């Protein structure tokens, strides 16, 4: 194995181990000593890859989780037959993905708490909020949704879906997902021109 391959393997192991620990126990309950022990590396190796230590490692894990959710949303949305079906499929996929306890813990609970609201929001906007803005813009341009400023609409829908995802994770009742999706679809239908 080359040095570059070894470095990449070490980084991947640190991310995998940290993701599992952060998902099951939360950021605050996990220490660096535990991470390096579980990963089978030294603290020096961790700091080589993540100079900022635990917070930088968490940021990388959060980016990974957000990318996974964004990929799921985009892949699901692409199955829609038109822009409206793509929007609703993407929203449904986001809420469904967010019911995963690991996604909820890392992306919706610890993310804003660890990084701060502004940094978490910037990361969210770089991914899912951008896709939502693109979808809404296309629907407005097609006349499906009444002409209006896109950014306030993105914030409202994103906030509603994040809150719904948190609530779904708390209730633990699988039937609640159907109720949330029905309510979301009614909200979206109200936007139609």
Tens of pLDDT, residues 98-115:
888 899 899 989 999 999
Cross-strand pairs, 145: 192
Reported in sequence order, the residue ranges of the chain that DSSP labels E, i.e. its strands, are none
pLDDT at position 128: 80
The reported pLDDT for the residue numbered 156 is 93
Lowest-pLDDT range of 33-42, 45-54, 63-72, 167-176: 167-176
List Cα–Cα distances, 131 to 6, 44, 108, 122, in angstroms: 35, 38, 18, 14
Domains and CATH numbers, the chain: 58-190 (1.10.357.10)
Q: Which two tokens stand for residue 73?
A: 């949303």
Residue 169 has pLDDT above 90, yes or no: no
Q: What is the pLDDT of residue 124?
A: 84
- What is the model's pLDDT at position 99? 86
φ, ψ (nearest 5 deg) of residue 192: -60, 140
Using the CB atoms, write b or e for 80-104: b if 16+ within 10 Å: eeebbebbbbbbbbbbbbbbbeebb
- Return the number of other C-beta atoms located less than 10 Å from residue 5's C-beta: 9
Residue-level pLDDT at 166: 84
If you average pLDDT over every residue of the chain, what do you get?
Answer: 93
Confidence of residue 15 (pLDDT cuts 50, 70, 90): very high
* SS3 letters across 148-170: CCHHHHHHHHHHHHHHHHHHHHH
Give per-residue pLDDT as tens, 74-87.
Answer: 999 999 999 999 99
Under the banding of pLDDT at 50, 70 and 90, the label for residue 37 is very high
**Residue 121's pLDDT is what?**
85
For residue 61, pLDDT beyond 90: yes
Residue 172 has pLDDT above 80, yes or no: no
**Predicted confidence band of residue 45 (pLDDT cuts 50, 70, 90):** very high
Tell me if 108 sits within 8 A of 166, measured CB to CB: yes
């Amino acid at each position: 194995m080359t040095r570059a391959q070894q470095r990449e393997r070490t980084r991947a192991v640190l991310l995998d181990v940290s993701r599992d620990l952060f998902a099951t126990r939360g950021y605050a309950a996990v220490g660096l000593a535990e991470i390096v022990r579980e990963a089978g590396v030294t603290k020096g190796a961790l700091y080589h890859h993540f100079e900022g230590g635990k917070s930088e490692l968490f940021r990388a894990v959060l980016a990974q989780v957000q990318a996974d959710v964004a990929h799921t949303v985009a892949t699901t949305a692409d199955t829609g037959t038109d822009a409206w079906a793509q929007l609703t499929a993407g929203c449904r996929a986001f809420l469904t993905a967010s019911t995963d306890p690991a996604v909820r813990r890392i992306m919706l609970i610890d993310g804003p708490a660890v990084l701060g609201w502004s940094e978490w929001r910037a990361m969210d906007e770089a991914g899912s909020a951008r896709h939502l803005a693109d979808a809404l813009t296309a629907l407005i341009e097609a006349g499906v949704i009444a002409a209006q400023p896109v950014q306030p609409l993105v914030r409202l829908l994103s906030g509603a879906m994040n809150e719904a995802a948190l609530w779904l994770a708390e209730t633990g009742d699988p039937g609640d997902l159907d109720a949330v999706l029905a309510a979301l679809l009614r909200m979206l239908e109200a936007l139609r021109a």
